[in-house]
Amino acid sequence: MKYINLTKGKKAMVDDWNYEWLSQFKWCLSSRRYAVRSVCLKDLSGRRTTKTIHMHRLILGTPDGKETDHINGDKLDNQISNLRIASRSENMFNQRARADSRSGVKGVWWLTRYKAWESQIRTNGKVTHLGRFKNISDAIDARNAATVKYHGDFARLSNHI
């Protein structure tokens, strides 16, 4: 594994065999925390446009209409073993909980009205209610079990608080 320097003092991890090829370009840290570079293109009429190239998509050769998933959630770990092609919904399966989440766990939140933790999961646009629980650990267990069942290889399990 080797590192490629980005802007803002950050580095992207890449496999040894991709290092020389990728290091010939100037890479930046995007506002969404990905390694990117810009390319200036001219169309047939001579107009210039700028295209953003994402390092992880370039490495995997991700086709249009698909996304590249970082298996461990680290957007700067661009080793082939950490990348896989995914649909939009598959890529969303292993998204982390929102920063403002009270429980810190995706799909688990506190219901003041019932004085209980609620757990649910969304798959293929359908929400499945998993139950209400007095103990947050039980709500997390229910969510983790459903995550494995419905999201398979794309499951991101949550730790108990």
Tokens of 33: 């925390």
Please name the residue that has the structure tokens 């003041």: 112
Query: Residues 52, 30: contact at Cβ < 8 Å?
Result: yes
pTM of the model as a whole? 0.83
Q: What is the pLDDT of residue 161?
A: 60
The two domains 2-86 and 96-154 share their CATH topology (first three levels equal):
no
**CB within 8 Å of 153: residues ≥ 6 apart:** none
Calculate the alpha carbon distances from 103 to 5, 17, 72, 116 in Å.
35, 41, 21, 12
Q: What is the pLDDT of residue 151?
A: 93
Bin 84: left if φ > 0, else alpha if -120 < ψ < 50, else beta.
beta
| Domain formed by 2-86, architecture | Alpha-Beta Complex (3.90)
Domain boundaries, the chain: 2-86, 96-154
Sheet arrangement for strand 48-54: 28-29, 35-42, 48-54
| Domain formed by 96-154, architecture | 2-Layer Sandwich (3.30)
What does each of the 161 residues of the chain score in pLDDT, given as a tens digit? 999 999 999 999 999 999 999 999 999 999 999 999 999 998 888 899 999 999 999 999 999 999 999 999 999 999 999 999 999 989 988 888 888 888 889 999 999 999 999 999 998 889 999 999 999 999 999 999 999 999 999 988 888 66
Tokens of 50: 């700028």
